[in-house]
Structures are given as C-alpha cells and as structure tokens.
Chain A
C-alpha cells in the first residue's frame, strides 16, 4: 500500500517519496493513514477515533470508508 510510504509531518503535509506527489491531510486524516499503515481495519480505526475524538462510531466508520475511497482514487491503496 503506497499510503504506508507517505512521509507525513506534524502539519499534515504528506509526501510520497516514490512519486514526488504531495498531499495535505487534517489531523484525523493523518490518524487514519497511520492506522491503515499499521494494518488496522476500518472498524478498529473507528473505535480508536471514538476514543480520541467526540464522534459516534457509525459516523466515524462512514467517514473512514469515504476517506479510504478518496485514498484509492489517488492510487494510495495500491
């Protein structure tokens, strides 16, 4: 998964060292990418988000799925 190689700094600037592409993600986006890189599934990530942020689990899960779809569009899940 390409997202695993992204170098993300504390401001959410993500750089892909393979292709030179760069992206900006917010704090939760960074959280999700890092969790996906560790091999966590969507449900585990949603549970982790609930613990960290003021959000319901089903809402967090939907947002994660939506975010994953976007990562896929950028080819970062291949």
Chain B
C-alpha cells in the first residue's frame, strides 16, 4: 500500500502530514509513504524514517492540472494507492476532483463540496445551532464604515478575522482597520468582526464515515502554544458534552473524512470557534492516545471494517520538541533538480 500525504512542512508552524504518515507507519510497517511537498526545504523531505519518498508539486494556486499530472506520474513511476491531503489551500481542488482521482485508481476520503462549505465562517452560526452550541456574536463587513460600526457595536477588544483564514485580536478601531486591510488584501471579503468569549479553548479531532458514523474522537486541551498559537504541550480530556457535540456534528451532516472542532468551553457552555475539514497538525497525539484516525480513515477508504473504539484515557500528555537532521546537501540538490527524492 502506497499512501501520499501533503503538509510535510514539519516546522514551527507544522503541517499535519508527518503526523498522518507516522500514524500510518506505526499501524502497519508495510505501508509506504509518499511526501507531497511544495518546498525543497520542507523537513519532511529529509525525514526518511517517516517519509519513504518525496515529490515536489506546484502550488495549488496554479490549478488542478499540474497536481493531477504529478499524482499520475507518481502512480506510474513509484506507485500510489491513496492520497491524504492535509492543507487548507489544496483541499478545494482535491474535493472537487476526487472522482477523477478515484477513476485513476487513487483513493481519497474527503467531505463533499457542500460539507466543505459548512466550515465557512458564514455558515458556522447555523452549524452551531444545529449541533446545540453557541456561535459568538459576529458581524460581516465589506468596507471600513461597516467595520467601524461593527467594532463599536461589538466593543473592544474584538476579533477581526477572514472568512476562512487568519484571525487577530483588535483593541481599538484603528487596530481593527489595520487587520481588516491586511486580511482582505490577502484573502478578500467578507471580513468578520466577532466578540471575544470567555472560557478555555478545547479541541476535538475526529473523522466521519460519510454515513453519520464516527470513526473516532479525541478531545484535548492545549497547555502551551507557540507565538503562532500552535500547540506545543497538550493533554487529552474527557469533556463528555464536547465529545457529544462532535458526535452530533458527524451525525447531523454525515461528515465524511477527518475534521477538527475548535471550541471555547465555559462550564457546560460550548462556543464554536472553527471547523477544520482536515486533520490538525497534532493528529499523532490522538494516535499516541490510542485512536489512530489516519489508519481508520485508510481502512474506511478501502472498504475495510475499521476499529471504531472510542475509548482513550484522559491525562495523556503530548510534548512537542525540536530535533535536527544532519545530512548531505546532495539530497537537497536531487530534490531541487529532479523534483523528487532518491527514495
């Protein structure tokens, strides 16, 4: 079995790819992993204990055709049975063309376009209501006048965020204007102004079988984060209401594929922050806690019955750390000139 994963940028702002590949390898040593990389310097290209072979791809902004051709090339030369894309920017294309991939003999297990749109912040209010939680007071704005009015109405500090990406805490109207400009220049409109809610941030990783069934869920609390807000240390928790909300999300929308729910929890009050339609970068944490979601996803992808046991212990701790690989620059030059590692 040969499985490709993207997001092998295992940096201080890590992609989920290495956690996915590591989970698969630990579940079955015969699985070969292919790293789909957008940068020769992605650490995953050199982590040959997790990634068997890597290939450089053109950025998703160049369209589907170069990605599709590259995947066909990999299938033809090295072999490729399945792809697990993990980066936000590439997901829309993989979702749109998943049937084309299937026809070429490359399996995926992704939400459909309608499900994918649920995570748009414009739709999160409705999703929150459906699964019985709260969505923070939010105003959609398209220009500075609307922004100023919204910030005054919601009060400061508030969150200024893009519809899909980026979120900043603004302490004043000028600061809000600054972030409005920054986000809209990069990601367009609408921009959302959102109230700040009190409570503890808790996250759930999970996967759905597309028929309303849950492949597994693990809830965690981030204990420390980096300056970019990425988890560094975390602990598994058993917040029953939060887990039942995640289950309700999968059932209500017949969610297909991996996801992460980001919530603020204040007692029994759960407030929706974000839904990520992919594995988070801390996916291996759940594997370490006993719920190997990448393996369960792969089994489901191939129509195999998979382990759906939801039991894990609260109090399992994850500690991220840094490490160095010292290697010959020949490996970088091979990747840069041939577009693929020796493998």
B interface, over-half SS: strand
Q: Which of B298-314 contact A (CB under 8 A)?
A: 314
B315 and A18 contacting across the interface, CB-CB below 8 Å: no
Contact B315 A19 (CB under 8 A): no
What are the interface flags for B228-253 relative to A under an 8 Å C-beta threshold, 1 for contact and 0 otherwise? Answer: 00000011111110000000000000
A15 in the interface, Cβ–Cβ < 8 Å? yes
Count B interface residues, CB 8 Å: 16
Chain A: residues with Cβ within 8 Å of the partner, total of 10
Contact status A7-B315, CB under 8 Å: yes
Q: Contact flags (1/0) for B153-193 with A, using CB distance below 8 Å? A: 00000000000000000000000000000000000000000
The chain B residue with its CB closest to the CB of A78 is B267
B190-222 CB contacts (< 8 Å) to partner A: 200, 202, 220-221
Partner of A20 from B202, B240, B267 at Cβ < 8 Å: B202
Residues of chain B in range 247-276 having any CB-CB distance to chain A below 8 Å: 265, 267
B267 contacts A17, CB within 8 Å?
Answer: no
Tell me the bound Cα distance from A77 to B234 in angstroms: 25
Residue interface bits B313-327, CB-to-A below 8 A is 1, else 0: 011000000000000
* B200, B234, B238: most-surrounded residue (chain A CB, <10 A): B238
Closest-CB distance, A35 to chain B (whole angstroms) = 23
* CB of B243, distance to nearest CB on chain A (Å): 11
The contact of A18 among B220, B223, B234, B237, by CB within 8 Å, is B237
| Interface hits, A13-56 → B, CB 8 Å | 15, 17-22
Q: Which of A15, A17, A21, A75 has the most CB of B within 10 A?
A: A17
Once the chains are docked, how many angstroms separate the CA of A27 from the CA of B157?
A: 42
A75 to chain B, nearest CB (A): 7
Chain B residues lying within 8 Å of A20, measured Cβ to Cβ, are 200, 202, 220-221, 223, 234-237, 314
- Alpha-carbon distance between A15 and B237 when the two chains are bound, in angstroms: 10
Inter-chain contacts of B314 with A (CB < 8 A): 7, 15, 17-18, 20
* Complex Cα gap A17–B219 (Å): 10
Report how far A15 CA is from B238 CA in the complex, Å. Answer: 12
Residues of A within 8 A of B (CB): 7, 15, 17-22, 75, 78
Interchain Cβ contacts under 8 Å between A and B, 16 examples? A7-B314, A15-B314, A17-B314, A17-B315, A18-B238, A19-B237, A19-B239, A19-B265, A20-B202, A20-B220, A20-B221, A20-B234, A20-B236, A21-B221, A22-B235, A78-B267
In the A-B complex, the 9 residue pairs with the smallest Cβ-Cβ separation, listed nearest first, are A20-B221, A17-B314, A20-B237, A20-B235, A17-B238, A18-B239, A15-B315, A17-B237, A19-B200
